[in-house]
Structure 1
Amino acid sequence: MAEVEAIKELDSIKLISHLLEIRCSKQMSDIWNIGLNLALRISDLLSIKFSDIQEDRLVIKESKTGKQANIKLNSKVIKHIRRIQQEHPMHIYLFQSYRNQQAINALPKPLSRRSVTKAFALVGEELNLNLGTHSMRKTRGYHLYKQTKDIGRVMKMLRHGSEGVTLRYIGITQDNIDKDFVELEI
């Protein structure tokens, strides 16, 4: 399995959202759009409950690291969340599985990681991209780095422990660093 990549072109980011909606579902498009803005691992993204959201903040404990993520929500995410909540006022999870409603007396569950992986792979194949669930997190990190050139800031956002891990994670290669040295003349 190839390593998934950050999506570096803004037009491709929008196209992925569009294709997820028309090929899969509005819910998959919402996962992509919200996931891009929250930079959470897919397990944490799918486990978000509406009760984790307080006005313009999301506070959750990350399952992999045990660290607390306290994220201020931007207007795009708030708009998506409000629409989802309005369309599904009885849901507990932001990305709740619809299939579970057919099981009598079954507790609500979030959408499965597997279903999101399949949807993203389908669209990635169509666009000839290594698209996966980590692509949202990597894309957010990549674009923050390109905008600020502040690897420490990206590390903090992704809650990573080293610059090398973060640079590799967001797809900044030695070629990119060499290019920055050549292009920036002082």
Structure 2
Amino acid sequence: MNVVQPIRDKSIVEQILLYLKLTNERDYIFFGMGVHSGLRVSDLLKLRVRDVRDQLHVVYVPEKIKSRLKKRRKQKMFIIHPDIAEDLRRFIEGMDDDEYLFASRQRKTITGAVGEPISRVTAYRMLNKVARRFGVQQIGTHSLRKTWGYHLYMDDPTNLALLMKMFGHEDMTTTLLYLGLTQDAMDAAIRGLSYT
């Protein structure tokens, strides 16, 4: 399994947002919601217009995770960030409440269904395409959530307890590893090592 990283440079995040805003409104809203909310891609893809129309928060119950660790499936709320709220409002104008927020433009090959959400694979491809354009490596669907958490932590390390709660992690080490901060610390320590 490939390790994916957050986008550590805020200016790159801003450039990606601007690029997507000019080239693809759906992908712009998707990326913007991801880096501003901390929602998993699987949760973003399930959003319907009614979940965000005239709302201050996105309210959801995390999906059941198949693992030995039993994560609590409590309802969580993520604010719709002011930086994306107005663009989101314009994006959903004229859409029905039952429509998926990030609907595919294509008919499903097997079922023939129309208006279904884009797949995780489509989201991954979009993210990788834009990441390559901006020279970002080790990107994946978790990179949006990791970017959100990374910058919350870097802006104020006292947010660590909040991030643990939002990610559903049991300890700080897990959160620091998830955000790539442990690797950053190791890199800094090694760079500082000198025998001369």
Aligned to 1:170: 179
What residue is the counterpart of 2:92 in the other structure?
85
The partner residue of 1:152 within 142, 150, 161 is: 161
Instruction: Provide closer, same or farther for how the CA distance between residues 125 and 90 of structure 1 changes in structure 2, counting only shifts above 3 A.
Output: same
Offset at residue 109 of structure 1 (A): 1.2
Give the residue type in structure 2 aligned to 1:82. Answer: R
CA, structure 1 residues 12+55, in 2 after alignment: closer, same or farther (shift >3 Å)?
same
Give the C-alpha shift of residue 19 in structure 1: 4.2
Unaligned 5+ segments in structure 2 are 66-70, 190-196
Distance in 2 (CA, whole Å) between partners of 1:83 and 1:159 is: 32
2:125: which partner in 1? 118
CA contact (8 A) 1:20 1:119 kept: no
User: Structure 1 pair 6/83, CA: closer, same or farther in 2 (3 Å)?
Assistant: same
TM-score under structure 1 normalisation?
0.81
Worse overlay, 130-139 or 77-86: 77-86
Residue 33 of structure 2 aligns to a residue in which SS? helix
* Residues 34 and 80 in structure 1, CA contact (< 8 A), matched pair in contact too: no
SS at match of 1:118: helix
User: What one-letter code is carried by the residue in structure 2 that aligns with 1:99?
Assistant: Q
Q: 1:178 to 1:13 in 2, by over 3 A?
A: closer
| Cα shift at 1:85 | 0.7
Match for 1:131 among 132, 139, 146?
A: 139
For each residue in 1:102-156, what CA deviation from the matched residue of structure 2 results, as whole angstroms up to 9, or x when unmatched? xxx8463111111110111122233142221111100111111111112112212
Shift of 1:3: 1.3
CA contact (8 A) 1:6 1:170 kept: yes
The residue identity in structure 2 corresponding to 1:4 is V
TM-score normalised by the chain length of structure 2: 0.77
CA contact (8 A) 1:116 1:133 kept: yes
Instruction: State the match for 1:59 in structure 2.
Output: 59
CA RMSD of aligned residues (A): 3.0
| 2:78 match: secondary structure | strand
Mapped partners of 1:33, 1:175: distance in 2: 25
Count of residue pairs brought into register by the alignment:
179
Q: Is the Cα contact below 8 Å between 2:100 and 2:116 reproduced in 1?
A: yes
Are the aligned partners of 2:50 and 2:98 in contact in 1 as well (CA < 8 Å)? Answer: no
Q: Is the 8 A contact 1:4 1:132 kept in 2?
A: yes
Identity of aligned residues (%): 29
Deviation, 1:2, is 3.2
Displacement of 1:34 in angstroms is 1.0
